[in-house]
């Protein structure tokens, strides 16, 4: 089934920045697309052929959207999986497959999947309510500190909290979840894997994720990670094993912890283009977005090596700024060699909302890091 010079259409659930960046490639290849998002001004709106407004979690909306499309994909995992199963039954290709999404949407299911398949992960215990966590503490069966995670609908750290005292527990939402041992993390790593319909797999280099201490969100991605070859090989081998286990089609971002004992633990995966792979637009032979499109259309994958090293910096909304967005000082960084800003096109900024990113390429990673820090200090995402 060739999509080149045809009227065949890719449907994308979600029209955020990931959708917008996927569309750079469908535009490049003149492939038709249709996007569904609940926001009438979603970033991907301008680059697709057809834009629909609707709720991605609503069964009937998703089912109706899939009419007249040939392949359906996602750019966000919170979508109605039952609808995807029904769409798959009708003979439309759905990538990532609904069974992959059903595991990933629920953090507890994901953890159980790793345990069953003997992939090293932080030890965990299921708790159906906050009350039962408190009881275990009273009975001396649970000690501080630990990490609490909500089973579903968490992202960017919203459903995750490090618990150090009874007071921290009072702040939790009473949703089913689990607790995890607090890991002594040396570095947080990510490996982006791509797998196509034929089972061909390519991995991007291991990258390092540097988090902002306040917001607990990724601030910098360093590509490649500053780790030795042995750790890099170990991380890639775990990522490839996971990719084969999930048997997914498309991009899968594999988030790992490198512990203080040099052990590698799986934290979680995302079966879609990922923030930790944005570097690939400027740094790789083939970007994660192009790889995803190649994979879901049954095309051969491209080379996933880096052409050059570098850093990606997330641009997020400044604290206490809510409203129509303004990017200040962006022109000041544009004269620096190797610097490319990306603006997502979201109309409104909010504290810590991802509004854009900047890629800095440089032959020397230390130079890229210095420039990245300067970029972060210079550009401010504020409200008008």
Stretch touching ligand ADP by CB under 6 A, among 156-164, 223-231, 281-289, 324-332: 156-164
List 24, 29, 211, 327, residue binding ligand ADP (CB under 6 A)? 211
| Minimum distance, C-beta of residue 188 to ligand ADP, in the bound complex (Å) | 5
Told to check if 183 binds ligand ADP by CB under 6 A, we report yes
Told to check if 190 binds ligand ADP by CB under 6 A, we report no
Residues 249-308 that bind ligand ADP (CB under 6 A): 255, 267-268
Q: Which residue lies nearer to ligand ADP by CB, 147 or 169? A: 147
Told to check if 210 binds ligand ADP by CB under 6 A, we report no
Residue 182: alpha-carbon gap to chain centroid: 22
Q: Which residue lies nearer to ligand ADP by CB, 182 or 343? A: 182
Which stretch of DSSP H or E encloses residue 372? helix 365-378
| Minimum distance, C-beta of residue 216 to ligand ADP, in the bound complex (Å) | 6
Phi (first) and psi of residue 194, to 5 degrees: -125, 135
Query: Which of 77, 8, 7, 16 minimizes the C-alpha distance to 47?
Result: 16
Stretch touching ligand ADP by CB under 6 A, among 130-138, 155-163, 166-174, 338-346: 155-163
| Minimum distance, C-beta of residue 162 to ligand ADP, in the bound complex (Å) | 7
Task: Convert residues 241-260 into a mask of x (bound to ligand ADP by CB under 6 A) and - (unbound).
Answer: --------------x-----
Residue 89, classed as helix, strand or coil, is helix
List 78, 175, 216, 378, residue binding ligand ADP (CB under 6 A)? 216
Query: Which of 191, 224, 198 minimizes the C-alpha distance to 301?
Result: 198
List 120, 154, 298, 341, residue binding ligand ADP (CB under 6 A)? 154
Q: How many CB atoms lie within 10 A of CB 366?
A: 10
Residue reference for tokens 């060739």: 2
DSSP letters spanning 239-255: HHHHHHHHT--EEEEEE
Residues 5-64 that bind ligand ADP (CB under 6 A): none
Give the integer Cα–Cα distance in Å for 249 and 291: 11
Residues 122-151 that bind ligand ADP (CB under 6 A): 122, 147, 149
DSSP letters spanning 340-365: EEEE---SEE-TT-EEEEEEEE-SSH
By CB neighbour count within 10 A (0-12 exposed, 13-18 middle, 19+ buried), where does 380 fall?
A: middle
List 53, 182, 210, 336, residue binding ligand ADP (CB under 6 A)? 182
Q: What is the DSSP letter of 275?
A: G
First to last CA, the chain: 48
Nearest-CB residue to ligand ADP? 183
The residue ranges that bind ligand ADP (CB under 6 A) are: 122, 147, 149, 154-160, 180, 182-183, 185, 188, 211, 216, 255, 267-268
């Amino acid at each position: 089934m060739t999509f080149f010079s045809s009227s065949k259409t890719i449907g994308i659930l979600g029209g955020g920045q990931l959708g917008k960046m996927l569309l750079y490639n469908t535009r490049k290849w003149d492939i038709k697309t249709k996007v569904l998002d609940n926001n009438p001004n979603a970033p991907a709106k301008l680059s697709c052929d057809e834009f629909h407004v609707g709720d991605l979690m609503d069964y009937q909306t998703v089912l109706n959207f899939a009419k007249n499309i040939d392949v359906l994909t996602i750019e966000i995992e919170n979508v109605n999986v039952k609808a995807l199963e029904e769409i798959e039954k009708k003979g439309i290709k759905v990538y990532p497959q609904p069974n992959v999404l059903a595991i990933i949407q629920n953090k507890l299911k994901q953890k159980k999947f790793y345990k069953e398949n003997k992939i090293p992960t932080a030890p965990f215990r299921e708790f159906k309510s906050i009350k039962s966590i408190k009881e275990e503490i009273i009975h001396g069966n649970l000690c501080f500190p630990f990490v609490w995670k909500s089973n579903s609908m968490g992202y960017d750290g919203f459903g995750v909290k490090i618990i150090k005292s009874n007071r921290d527990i009072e702040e939790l939402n009473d949703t089913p979840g689990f607790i995890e041992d607090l890991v002594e993390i040396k570095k947080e790593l990510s490996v982006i894997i791509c797998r196509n319909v034929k089972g061909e797999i390519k991995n991007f280099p291991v990258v390092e994720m540097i988090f902002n201490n306040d917001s607990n969100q990724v601030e910098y991605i360093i590509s490649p990670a500053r780790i030795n070859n042995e750790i890099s090989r170990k991380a890639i081998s775990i990522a490839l094993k996971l990719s084969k286990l999930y048997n997914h089609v498309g991009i899968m971002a594999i988030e790992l912890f490198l512990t203080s004992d040099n052990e590698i633990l799986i934290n979680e995966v995302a079966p879609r283009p990922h923030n930790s792979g944005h570097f690939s637009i400027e740094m790789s032979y083939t970007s994660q977005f192009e790889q995803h499109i190649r994979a879901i259309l049954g095309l051969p994958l491209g080379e996933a090596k880096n052409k050059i090293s570098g850093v990606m910096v997330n641009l997020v909304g400044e604290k206490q700024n809510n409203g129509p967005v303004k990017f200040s000082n962006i022109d000041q960084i544009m004269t620096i060699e190797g610097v490319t800003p990306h603006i997502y096109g979201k109309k409104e900024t909010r504290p810590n909302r991802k509004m854009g990113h900047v890629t800095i390429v440089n032959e020397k990673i230390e130079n890229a890091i210095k420039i990245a820090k300067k970029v972060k200090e210079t550009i401010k995402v504020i409200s008008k």
